[in-house]
Chains A and B, each alone.
Chain A
């Protein structure tokens, strides 16, 4: 969603701080987080365990109140509203289905609490169960369902009241790989069909990249970068983002005159790159090409070893100054093996592939 910045805002977090505990023992689960989520967007919070993803979601849902900062929904300050008065629903990681109710009663719960008329409740429940393809299970107890089915009930239950925002806390993490892939597609379909703003939490970078309109990468209670999957992958703002998403080579170089100077050579950089005595360059393995040694513009390197993955192999290369680089090479059609360890090669870096990181 490239127009995200100009589209109507669904959720806004302003300078959110959440501290648990008192005094010296206090943990800052969120440390001055500001975030803007557009209407109808599939927005993903991505980050390692303990970085504060769940905490941010719980603040939006209202299960927790921020130590400081404000939460706005559709432009209205909802910081002080209890969860039952926020038009926001949650799909819990553990599903949290009511064990004493049937599937249909679970889905009806939110509508009933909103005081919707009986006929409307019944119609919406039918529609929701059809949406998640569970019509046949309406009268079942939730304990009689498989993990994937429970997950869909949780989804239907949260979607039934037509919330302005749907919060999903690692909803797929309990599923096996195959079901997970299926549900990813399913979720994306539901989001497109309903047009509801999704705030999705995951620590799986692939999931984040494939499903999201925009991703916020979090670490240690802060949002490090927000952007489209493409922006995050190709233009990581810092070393953490670059290494957390996909694989990246890091090189240290001196920058002057619009080029990076390494021990074995010079790499051209985009015009206007500021001079620095020591900068970190990030280069994705798939943007490195091997060339015969001595090719103009190629960095001289030695093959250290290679790891074969089937569709491609990772060549570990050593540069003149001892720095290591990994280059990804597609397996050739004839299946020929790549260069042997010890081979002298040249490394060509695709134009625009180098990202100068701010530390």
Chain B
């Protein structure tokens, strides 16, 4: 008979746990760390270390094409995340603050469809759809990208907002109504302030997702509408330079910043 261990079962006690954990961390982070390290490379090669230097950051910063792509990326992400968060907030309210109705599950699935449909399928569909509109209207501006980004950002904004709404004590809204607040004022003075961290988290997640998108952007963009990721993809096709590393690192820094904020906003308060 096995000796009864005083401690409850823990997965950390399994043989090989440490090895596998270390391997997983290596696989996840060594490539990223390499990328970050080489973005400070003084040499022109991406493979040979030539001493610490910020030259590639300076080069990227001074590159007007990079500047334009970065501004475009930020602009699209800002517009798309605001739009997606607005829609997501309304959708979350509609699916949590109404009496259960027929087709509620169907609506839930429909809202989260972008999470399930392969991105390439959406990309091709949007390409064909927008091409037709472009021909019909003659408009070829950034609105197509903003719309496309809004659409796939909605579920990312929706999920944290909905989670927060579901966790909210419904009696608070009842109490507001009891204290003479109309439906709108209940929303304005009770629901919205309590929901704010969820909305901010949703917006941040949407922003990051938009900033990071390659596939749909690549298909939908018109000529001269490169975002930072599609610009980098274009660069990589020709030559890999440490400049790309520098841009990637900057993008990584921004993403980490936003995701940290997201984490801080959504974690449970004690």
Contact = CB atoms under 8 A, between A and B. Distances in A.
Interface of A: 61-63, 82-85, 88-90, 92, 94, 96-100, 109-110, 113-114, 157-158, 161
A117 B194 CA distance: 26
A85 B172 CA distance: 17
Q: Which of A110, A113, A161 has the most CB of B within 10 A?
A: A113
B179 A110 contact: yes
Contact of A83 (B169, B178, B190, B194): B178
B174 A161 contact: no
Given A89-B178, A96-B169, 9 more contacts: A63-B178, A84-B178, A92-B174, A97-B175, A109-B179, A113-B185, A113-B189, A114-B180, A161-B180
12 contacts: A61-B178, A62-B177, A85-B180, A89-B179, A94-B169, A94-B171, A96-B172, A113-B176, A113-B181, A113-B185, A158-B179, A161-B180
Interface of B: 169, 171-172, 174-182, 185-186, 189-190, 193-194
Contact of B177 (A63, A97, A100): A63
Given A99-B194, A109-B176, A84 B181 contact: yes
Nearest to B169: A96
A85 B189 CA distance: 17
Nearest to B194: A100
A161 B177 contact: no
A114 B176 CA distance: 12
B173 to A, nearest CB: 9
A109 B189 CA distance: 9
Given A99-B194, A100-B193, A113 B180 contact: yes
Nearest to B182: A84
A98 B172 contact: yes
- Chain B interface secondary structure, helix, strand, loop or mixed? helix
Nearest to B179: A110
A113 B179 contact: yes
B194 A84 contact: no
Nearest to B175: A96
A340 B182 CA distance: 69
A212 B105 CA distance: 48
A61 B177 CA distance: 10
B177 A84 contact: yes
Contacts of B169: 94, 96
Contacts of A88: 178
Contact of B179 (A62, A82, A99, A161): A161
A88 B175 CA distance: 11
A92 B180 contact: no
A41 B175 CA distance: 23
Nearest to A82: B177
Given A84-B182, A113-B185, A98 B177 contact: no
A96 B190 contact: no
Nearest to B173: A96
Contact of B180 (A84, A98, A100): A84
A85 B178 CA distance: 8
Contacts of B180: 84-85, 110, 113-114, 161
Contacts of A114: 180
A63 B175 contact: no
A61 B189 CA distance: 20
Nearest to B196: A100
Contacts of A157: 179
B184 to A, nearest CB: 11
B182 A92 contact: no
A56 to B, nearest CB: 16
A268 to B, nearest CB: 53
A67 to B, nearest CB: 16
A156 to B, nearest CB: 12
Nearest to B177: A83
Contacts of B181: 84, 109, 113
A306 B194 CA distance: 58
